[in-house]
Amino acid sequence: EKEIWNRERLSLQKSLKQADAELSKLRAELRSEAFLRELGSDTENAVLRRIYGKYLRAESFRKALIYQKKYLLLLLGGFQECEEATLALIARMGGQPSYTDLEIITHHSKGFTRFRSAVRVSIAISR
């Protein structure tokens, strides 16, 4: 009978040790999951902050491009008005062909006008 009790006691001690080991394993797993959740939320926040920062930079760049486009369009409009005023002044000076004659002479193809505009834009950008 004593041997039976000893065997039962040993088997119960083994099962108790196994239960303790399993309990400590589950506690460690729970701690690691909680740590990962905590870390994960920080990581997600960092990712969201980084993406929002990229968005803000892209938006700022887009607004700067819009501003530059408007500036260049105004600049090209100013060149066109300046050219027309110069031609009108030359026509009024006399001794030169009239403004209408100059308009016929200086009438260029659409491609040439685009090329001239592109050159003026590149000059304005380099300045």
Instruction: Please check whether residues 110 and 60 belong to one and the same domain.
Output: no
Residues 22, 6, single domain; the answer is yes
Structural domains of the chain, count: 2
| pLDDT for residue 116 | 80
Claim to verify: residue 40 and residue 19 sit in the same structural domain: yes
Q: At what angle do helices 2-93 and 110-126 cross, to 10 degrees?
A: 120
What domain range is 72 assigned to? 1-96
Looking at the fold, whether 32 and 8 belong to one and the same domain comes out as: yes
Segment 41-61, tens digit of pLDDT:
666 777 777 888 888 888 888
Residues 5 and 19 in one domain: yes
pTM strictly above 0.75: no
Per-residue pLDDT, averaged over 97-122, amounts to 66
Determine contact, residues 122/110, Cβ cutoff 8 Å: no
Mind listing the pLDDT tens digit for each residue in 77-98?
A: 777 667 777 677 667 766 454 5
pLDDT tens per residue across span 4-39: 888 888 888 999 999 998 998 888 888 877 766 766
The whole-number pLDDT of residue 18 equals 92
Residues 58 and 87 in one domain: yes
pLDDT, position 99: 47
Same domain, 107 and 73: no
Whether residues 109 and 73 share a domain: the answer is no
**Do residue 66 and residue 115 come from a single domain?**
no
Please check whether residues 57 and 102 belong to one and the same domain: no
